[in-house]
Structure 1
Amino acid sequence: MSLAESSNPTEPAPKTSPVRLLFRLILIGAILFATYQLLGPYWTRVSAWNLTDNDDAMRVLQVRDWLAGQAWFDVSQHRFTEHPISNIHWSRIADLPLAVTMLITNLMLGQPLGEKVAAFLTPMWLGVIYVIIGTKASVGLGGKKAFLPAIFLITCAPAVLTYFLPGRVDHHGLQLIFLATALWGLVAGSHKMAAVSGIAIALGIGVGLEALPLQIVLIGWVAMRWALRGEIVQRETRWFAASLGIGLALCFVATVPEAKWAAPVNDAIGRGHAALGLLGGVLLALATFLPTARLGPKAGIVARLVLLTVIAGVVLSGVRVFPEVIVPPYNQIDPLLKRLWLNNVTEAAPMMKAKLSGILAFALFPILAGIASVVALLWAKDKERDLWILAALTIFISAALAVFWQGRSAGLATTVSGIMTAALIGKLIEQVNLRTALIVAVIVNPIIPGLVGSKVAEYFEPKNSKFTTGGGAGCYTERAFSALKVQVPGLVVAPIDMGARILLTTPHRVLAVPYHRNNTGNLAAYRLFLARPDVAKAMAKDLGASYVAICTKSAEVAILSRESPKGLMVELRDGRIPAWLTPIEKPKGSDVQAYKVNLD
């Protein structure tokens, strides 16, 4: 029978049986219910502006102001304080994902609801991009068999997943996407993808400098691979170096206003990063054109190593011109603020200061993944061995950064570990057997070893004392600040951790915010709370304060009270309100106590 004979336009389509239709409806209903159960609590939090971190609140605020007409190059927060400096160290690059979503949701739903929906959705669609790119990187290194392991290892890592949960609109998720893209470009084995890798590193530096040490490792690996491999990787090296150097220059020009090009900046992309990055990238790209292969294998390696030494010497000598690039980013913070505030910020502290259970929950996966990468590089050959050297280097160095430098590097280490471990499991499935691959997957994963280790350690650890980790929803939500919101706009003096939330949920200005460039305002606020009530009154008058506010269950209350037993914070904590402050009735469920300042 021919196709024409078998196709009868008048013949009715086959009907779906009632049982099958009912099954489909039940399945759809179950999926919708499960989605609601999973995401419902997150929407409840986001809709109340109970965001996970101060930086999430500030990102929403920054994008809100930008869409309301604030200039692209103006990343100042004009409601910080009348004191200098209201310019935070962020980049507009990190504002783009939330801004695109917010433009759409604001048009559809109006600003108040649209902002919350955008904050809810943006991390999730960025998370999808992260999983896709990370999976491609794993497949690029480990082959097609790495696809399913990559899906599991990349999506189930708690240290990474937290950055893509609804409401997490800070820049860390975007930074992980750029890192995964850089790794994908390096393992793909083509000059075009090498260029993508260089651009991704440039964009990552444009977003923030917390991943810079690891990015330098990637750059160094590319340079050393060219020195040792020569002609077979010279095209990839050339495109990587050129795209990196040009990309850094473009990021600098695109995000830094011309008036600040000459400013010495050490906590964001600045003149030194752009100039030295462009110089090093161009010199390395030009070096790949030299015919070193004609000298023979050994002499060629020596020649390329000499060239790299010269390039490194030229770039490092630039530190004398741009000394700010080696100055620690928090160097400008007053010692009092370092001791009372910064040293208590979890993500800025090394993980070695955390409890053993917290260290094990994170560190076991990168350690095991690093060991597995070392085993893999001993097993691999030629160019593939180079990639496993890259895997081991990036895993161990990123893990060391998290443990000994800043805990926020945990996401970087877990990203690299997930991509590389999935690739290894794919190789084992393809070249050894499924049983061996499954054994490795059970041992090397982000859940089982860390969960078991942390639970064992947690059993022997003392429990947290009251308010050691912050005040919870009563300190953060829109409702918590509702009484303060309806007051006449003015300057609010509050602890540092409250600043971003006050700006997001009220029309007031604030003195203190959790950003190191606001050294003057933060120090003024802390000194006021540490001062005796009569001295604090004079300080409030000099500052032009309209309100004083604290969260009664905040860790900062305990910290400042311990520091100054006779200071204003202790008086407010114990309910002894000075005559120059009038309490504002707080709403039910709020732990934010605000006071009007009466200086007449």
Structure 2
Amino acid sequence: MTSLAGTPPRRAQVDRSPFESPALLVVLVLVALFGLYDPRNLAPIFDHLRLPDTDDMMRLVGVRDLLAGQGWFDAVQHRMLPPAGIPSHWSRLIDLPIATLILAFTPILGRAAAEGATAALWPVLLFVLYSVLAGFGMRRLFGWRTALLVLFVAPQTAVFMNVFQFGRIDHHNAQLCAVLAIALALADPARRLQRGLLAGAVAGLSLAIGLETLPVIAAAGLLVLADWVRDGERAAGLLAGYGFGLFGASLPLFGLQTAPDLWGVPVCDALSPPWLLLAAGAATVGGAALVAGQRAVGRTGRCLVTGLVGAGMAAGFLRIAPSCLSGPFTGMDDLVRTSWLDQVDEMRSFPHFLRSEPDVALSNIMPILVAALYAVAMALRERAPDRRRFFIVVAALIVPGALIALGQARGMYVAGAFVPLLGAIALDRAITALRMPGSGLHRLALVVLAMAMLSKAWVLVTAPPARLLAPATIGSQSVPVSNWRACTAPAAYAALDRLPPGIVLGSIDLGPPLLLMTHHAVVAAPYHRNLVGMRAAIEAAEGSEATLRRVTLARGADYLLLCTAALDRADAGRPEPFVTDLALGTVPSPDWLTPLAALPDGSALRIWRIRRDGSDTLRPRSNGS
């Protein structure tokens, strides 16, 4: 029997490779894991609760509000654009385990340390979950060495270095685990109903957490549907299970996390009626597949059933939520789209990154593209039924994410779940080839293929060696990482927290650290539902003194906060925006702005109190928190 690489039996093999030693592989895995979970990276989290990303900060702010007594169904962030606040589309299903961990740690560590411990532990727990799922799945199909190599490859891929690092309490890591579970459940050559139910239920949970995985869930549905159309009754159980599981999980989870008065309101950025309609359509097709199997319906009949149900789903979706065809950011005005959304790393395209930051583009996106091509090639080449099914499923799910990543980098979050699996398989083949007779060029090609799925390998050839330990990853803020650190120094926010509470007008990315580390309210934060606040912040950052004055009055701001490390700069030949000159000290402060000497020396932040009606005294106000 041949191996996955198509190599001859063991008797034709030559000397053993040193990489076949379990002890050596364990050591390599431990070294790789140390790169991801270096204990020295815990200090910023425990000492200052310095989280990696704006989304992590916003998640912890929401969890704090929940623990402080804000209602389960009250999804409003009341300190963002008060007094009305901004409703969140984020799922309480992620808030719940994080809040539970904080409550469990608080009697032992105190609240501040409990938050730090939770922020450090939560992504590690999810990485363990991913590792267990991948380990069992890969060991069954490819053996213990491939399963172990997954743990070597994963910490060296940019997606995992990003979403599973200490402090990442946003939901992307949970979504990667869900995507992996869906794929492993569907990679069942027998295509049993029970495995379909499991895959569908996890897909429903993933939809409730967030719609980022919708392309993968849709691709999985199309895959099992195509199986049924082609193979009939043999594939009916998997299709029925997937449809029943998807609708059976998403409907109660929607009710669990959504206020009853919003059950009939369609929204495009969270689980709501239009997406439940599609899940119901999947269940309908699944039921029809079981009935068709009993009545021996032919392929033409199966195609007709598929077309009718698909047409009904499309018509219903267009009737209740036609705007959702434009995506989750429907209704965003051009100013916010061009000045904020298009500047966020996650929304930038691969060609854009390739022109401006080739090392970031290659290390983050290229492993996913290589893995996608490898999955497709192996799906066409593999002959063993169970392995062939695995590659077909993985190819069907990784390709949509890879295509999205070419246009918007956020596609890497779902496609990245499969890179460690495919990289481990390729690396295992390369190790096997080292001890097999044959062409040295063939061996080199296998090694290069395996290395091409490691982000650190791309960094090695595109960036200085110092970047090997921490290759640049793509985040959700629009400010470069080095500038972001300067703008979020904890000592400066501790000083801001000592000022009387008020509403702060600042750049969009300063909103989450202000909400997390101070008692102030903010006009804007990088959150697409806060269009009014973000437009105000952009106008203030890009306009004249008169525009800034108008915005502060319209939004009732008490403070103006600027960061010299992240200023909006004018295009060549145009004058600098007023706030840029103000922050750099090239123009004096107008009489309605009072500079405050509240920040530590050397801070990149500058703050002014906004005077209204000839007074610089803050009016008492409720932030609604």
Query: Is this a same-fold pair by TM over 0.5?
Result: yes
The answer on 1:312 being equivalent to 2:325 is: no
Partner of 1:504: 516
What amino acid maps onto 1:135 in structure 2?
A: G
Query: Number of residues paired by the alignment?
Result: 558
Partner of 2:132: 132
Give matches, 1:221-232, under 5 Å: 221-232=223-234
The answer on 1:568 being equivalent to 2:579 is: yes
What amino acid maps onto 2:600 in structure 1?
A: P
Partner of 2:393: 390
**1:144 positional shift:** 5.0
Partner of 1:592: 605
What's the secondary structure of 2:499's corresponding residue? coil
In 2, the alpha carbon distance for the partners of 1:398 and 1:510 equals 34
Give matches, 1:211-230, under 5 Å: 211-230=213-232
In 1, the alpha carbon distance for the partners of 2:518 and 2:570 equals 26
What's the secondary structure of 1:596's corresponding residue? strand
In 2, the alpha carbon distance for the partners of 1:441 and 1:79 equals 54
Preserved contact between residue 491 and residue 509 of structure 1 (Cα < 8 Å): yes
Give matches, 1:9-20, under 5 Å: none
Preserved contact between residue 146 and residue 422 of structure 1 (Cα < 8 Å): yes
In 1, the alpha carbon distance for the partners of 2:434 and 2:42 equals 43
What's the secondary structure of 1:306's corresponding residue? helix
CA deviation digits over 1:243-296, x for unaligned, max 9? 111112122111111111222211111111012212x1321221122244764x
In 2, the alpha carbon distance for the partners of 1:400 and 1:479 equals 42
In 1, the alpha carbon distance for the partners of 2:604 and 2:194 equals 55
**1:453 positional shift:** 4.4
In 1, the alpha carbon distance for the partners of 2:37 and 2:269 equals 41
The answer on 1:182 being equivalent to 2:182 is: yes
In 2, the alpha carbon distance for the partners of 1:425 and 1:235 equals 35
Partner of 2:333: 334
Preserved contact between residue 348 and residue 407 of structure 1 (Cα < 8 Å): yes
Preserved contact between residue 266 and residue 329 of structure 1 (Cα < 8 Å): yes
Deviates more, 1:162-171 or 1:579-588: 579-588
Deviates more, 1:62-71 or 1:561-570: 561-570
In 1, the alpha carbon distance for the partners of 2:338 and 2:434 equals 54
Change (3 A) 1:160 1:292: same
CA deviation digits over 1:184-203, x for unaligned, max 9? 21124543332221111111
Match of 1:444 among 449, 464, 467: 449
**1:70 positional shift:** 0.9
Match of 2:569 among 558, 578, 582: 558
The answer on 1:288 being equivalent to 2:289 is: yes
**1:83 positional shift:** 6.1
What amino acid maps onto 2:319 in structure 1?
A: V
Change (3 A) 1:543 1:360: closer
Change (3 A) 1:231 1:158: same
Give matches, 1:20-419, under 5 Å: 38-45=38-45, 47-82=47-82, 86-142=86-142, 146-188=146-188, 189=190, 190-278=192-280, 280-292=281-293, 295=296, 300-322=298-320, 323-355=322-354, 356-377=358-379, 378-380=381-383, 384-404=387-407, 406-419=408-421
Preserved contact between residue 76 and residue 87 of structure 2 (Cα < 8 Å): yes
Change (3 A) 1:407 1:381: same
Preserved contact between residue 67 and residue 99 of structure 2 (Cα < 8 Å): yes
In 1, the alpha carbon distance for the partners of 2:58 and 2:602 equals 23
What amino acid maps onto 1:443 in structure 2?
A: V
Change (3 A) 1:546 1:315: same
In 1, the alpha carbon distance for the partners of 2:495 and 2:43 equals 23
Partner of 2:484: 472
Identity of aligned residues (%): 24
Change (3 A) 1:433 1:411: farther
In 1, the alpha carbon distance for the partners of 2:161 and 2:544 equals 45
Preserved contact between residue 177 and residue 417 of structure 2 (Cα < 8 Å): no
Q: For the aligned residues, what is the CA RMSD?
A: 3.3
In 2, the alpha carbon distance for the partners of 1:337 and 1:245 equals 35
What's the secondary structure of 1:471's corresponding residue? helix
In 1, the alpha carbon distance for the partners of 2:325 and 2:285 equals 22
In 1, the alpha carbon distance for the partners of 2:435 and 2:234 equals 32
In 2, the alpha carbon distance for the partners of 1:164 and 1:327 equals 31
In 1, the alpha carbon distance for the partners of 2:508 and 2:610 equals 19
In 1, the alpha carbon distance for the partners of 2:289 and 2:564 equals 62
CA deviation digits over 1:459-484, x for unaligned, max 9? 8xxxx9xx865623221132121221
**1:563 positional shift:** 7.8
In 2, the alpha carbon distance for the partners of 1:141 and 1:77 equals 47
Preserved contact between residue 202 and residue 247 of structure 1 (Cα < 8 Å): yes
What's the secondary structure of 2:42's corresponding residue? helix
**1:542 positional shift:** 3.6
Flag structure 2 segments of 5+ consecutive residues without an equivalent.
Answer: 1-26, 465-471, 473-478, 615-625
CA deviation digits over 1:69-114, x for unaligned, max 9? 1111112111012265511221111223322221112232221221
Partner of 2:24: none
Flag structure 1 segments of 5+ consecutive residues without an equivalent.
Answer: 1-26
Change (3 A) 1:457 1:251: same
Change (3 A) 1:438 1:79: farther
Preserved contact between residue 158 and residue 446 of structure 1 (Cα < 8 Å): no
CA deviation digits over 1:4-48, x for unaligned, max 9? xxxxxxxxxxxxxxxxxxxxxxx9xx99xx899921233225532
Change (3 A) 1:440 1:566: closer
Deviates more, 1:163-172 or 1:356-365: 356-365
Preserved contact between residue 144 and residue 426 of structure 1 (Cα < 8 Å): no
What's the secondary structure of 1:249's corresponding residue? helix
Preserved contact between residue 551 and residue 557 of structure 1 (Cα < 8 Å): no
In 1, the alpha carbon distance for the partners of 2:366 and 2:485 equals 31
Partner of 2:9: none
If the length of structure 1 is used for normalisation, what is the TM-score?
Answer: 0.84
In 2, the alpha carbon distance for the partners of 1:143 and 1:307 equals 41
What's the secondary structure of 1:593's corresponding residue? strand
Preserved contact between residue 157 and residue 364 of structure 2 (Cα < 8 Å): no
Change (3 A) 1:201 1:344: same
Change (3 A) 1:88 1:348: farther
What's the secondary structure of 2:211's corresponding residue? coil
Partner of 1:21: none
In 2, the alpha carbon distance for the partners of 1:483 and 1:126 equals 35
The answer on 1:541 being equivalent to 2:587 is: no
Give matches, 1:450-469, under 5 Å: 450-458=455-463
Deviates more, 1:248-257 or 1:350-359: 350-359
In 2, the alpha carbon distance for the partners of 1:411 and 1:598 equals 45
What's the secondary structure of 2:74's corresponding residue? coil
What's the secondary structure of 1:352's corresponding residue? helix
Preserved contact between residue 142 and residue 422 of structure 1 (Cα < 8 Å): no
What amino acid maps onto 2:603 in structure 1?
A: S
